[in-house]
């Protein structure tokens, strides 16, 4: 089942960290949000974080004695898009939110043993379309799995 895949468990681990950041992040979704989507949220539901996992990329294969692959090291990028409202101090609020996310997402870099390491990569660009501001932070996880699943 997909819910048991390491990929899904890593995404859920990232979501749990983000959800625990309330009130900095008040709503978590699994899909990116457009301007029309954001208009459906009331003020108390913002900021919204959209957590979207990419597909894993195999980076190393290990074969067993029989020559068949029995272990795969993969890289999984999980993008976190944060949307908030701010008209006057966008950069200050963005800085404070990113600082807290950085600290919390690095608190448990192995996601309780699900992965070998987590490295964060903020996207240097952010978007602003009044009254919303959006930025992206990517959690890059390296993990081990078998050919039996991702």
Express each pLDDT in 92-143 by its tens digit.
Answer: 999 999 999 999 999 999 999 999 999 999 999 999 888 899 999 999 999 9
What is the rounded distance in angstroms from the CA atom of residue 41 to the CA atom of residue 27? 9
pLDDT at 12: 97
pLDDT at 2: 47
Answer for the pair 110, 13: CB distance below 8 angstroms, yes or no. no
- Write out the two tokens for 31: 């899909």
User: Do strands 27-29 and 48-53 pair parallel, antiparallel, or not at all (unpaired)?
Assistant: parallel
Burial class (CB in 10 A: 0-12, 13-18, 19+), 79: middle
Overall average pLDDT of the 47-70 stretch: 91
**Structural domains present in the chain:** 2-145 (3.30.70.1700)
Overall average pLDDT of the 42-50 stretch: 95
What is the rounded distance in angstroms from the CA atom of residue 5 to the CA atom of residue 125? 32
Angle at 37 between CA 32 and CA 41, to 5 degrees: 110
Average pLDDT, the chain: 93
């Amino acid at each position: 089942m997909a819910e048991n895949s390491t990929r899904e468990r890593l995404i859920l681990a990232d979501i749990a960290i983000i959800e625990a950041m309330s009130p900095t992040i008040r709503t978590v979704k699994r899909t990116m949000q457009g301007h029309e989507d954001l208009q459906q949220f009331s003020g108390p539901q913002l900021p919204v974080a959209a957590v979207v996992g990419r597909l894993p990329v195999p980076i190393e294969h290990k074969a067993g004695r029989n020559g068949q692959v029995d272990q795969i090291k993969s890289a999984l990028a999980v993008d976190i898009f944060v949307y908030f409202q701010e008209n006057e101090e966008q950069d200050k609020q963005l800085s404070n939110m990113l600082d807290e996310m950085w600290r919390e997402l690095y608190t448990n870099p192995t996601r309780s043993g699900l992965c070998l390491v987590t490295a964060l990569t903020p996207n240097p660009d952010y978007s602003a379309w009044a009254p919303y501001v959006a930025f992206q932070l990517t959690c890059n996880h390296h993990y081990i799995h078998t050919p039996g699943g991702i």
